[in-house]
Chains A and B, each alone.
Chain A
């Protein structure tokens, strides 16, 4: 198929439909409105269901219901709306149901701004809702990668019976880029024998639930969840690297910020400074090993986490570097972007020992 020009949000919606998503429940919020808009236009044409719920809380609980019945289902929102969805998200994780949740992050805290941000990293990766649970978090850096990851996200969710979050930002949602909808390799998936689709009088009813009245049962449920999470950590880590070989400074950045960092790397190269990039594609499970390996390289003097936040992922970079090399942070928050110039200058300060 030839390349077409797609807006990030509408491309994400089309990718979900291509992956077999036929249920979408949402509530509008800038800068992700083209997702529900596209679903509202397309779902009726393909016998799917688009429903604008009365609130984000309602929408995520509709996702809970559809996922419990074994349907491929998605919701999307932006930061404040995702905060509202947290209760439902932890229930879905607790009940081990597959679904895809898209967060096109905007500036925070509170109502913040409608400009791009990455300040929902903690919320996405460290448990925004209550209890011990994990979301699988995928962070695309281009509209093409978003399209590919969204399609795969449904398979990943089904394989592990776990919610998957696509963590984009307002820029990802709003920008136009050339896209090709490729045939995505399908995973071999277990049958959804747990789904509440009616017994037809032939078996005991399936129950979808996250309530365990007996503490020991609830403990065992947690232990089982963590066995699953360990499996995901073993199988699903993804990371992209650029110029890390012989780099003096290694930037760590995800999503659209990684593209700005690449410009900084190229401008530093012109001044004879070798800089590289580690771009986590999965934010959970996190590519600690890639950081650790870079930390062990003799050439690497320091790491710098570059984020559109006041510094969230930097904590995971520190865990990966494990004290072997210093880790610095550079970022802009509230909807502002770090610039290649600002990143390069900060890197020079660090390498010059000014800090």
Chain B
């Protein structure tokens, strides 16, 4: 096992009872590592097994086989959880407690003195911008405020590792920005962060690497730097202006594996393709048909496309489309 890994997941499999139908495997042979001081995005659709993975990490549920370690310590070890801060998806709290009481209660589950607890609660309420609502009962908090109390309780022990389940869900744009800022500032403090999300742009913006989970298996791990610099499958987008653009003449020569999208907006044509040769042929057709070239751009493959391809959802028919 690697010493530098913050989280090491090795051969983890988990199934749940499915009533009379036997058992349903939710996680199968999960195997990956998260490095120290890394922001790791965990992408996957509904039911892919993201929350189950987090619950396995926190020993809320036990794997059928395999093991999980934090800096070499078994996740089953209660003291290993002293290194961890966890924000569940749509966190629920004891609604009769005030913001300060709730954080004080969670702090009391760690080995902190009363004075330390008080200071920590004060600092956290400031950090998440809830100092003004410290004496308000949580039942009166808005969804966004609860999410902020959620991140505050996850930070109550100044953890080395943050596990955040859909931290941006239900937040308005301002809330999402402040959550991103908190995550990035945690990384700057040397913390390791794993968070799940449906929002691919958030993952693109703040992650060092992202793992894509589909049907309980990691299908791909992408380093963001590699995704940015990779030229494979670069999308070429051609915009031209003029009358009718007829691409039927080159359809036979287009590589069947390359997707060409042709959008028509009045006199404007936007054509995109991932294949360089096809792009050259389209440019030539534009020139011969007397249309005016407005722009030609090359865009890197987006996380969304990588995600869709990796989860096998990128199954659009390959054809020249006209809208």
Tell me if chain B binds chain A: no
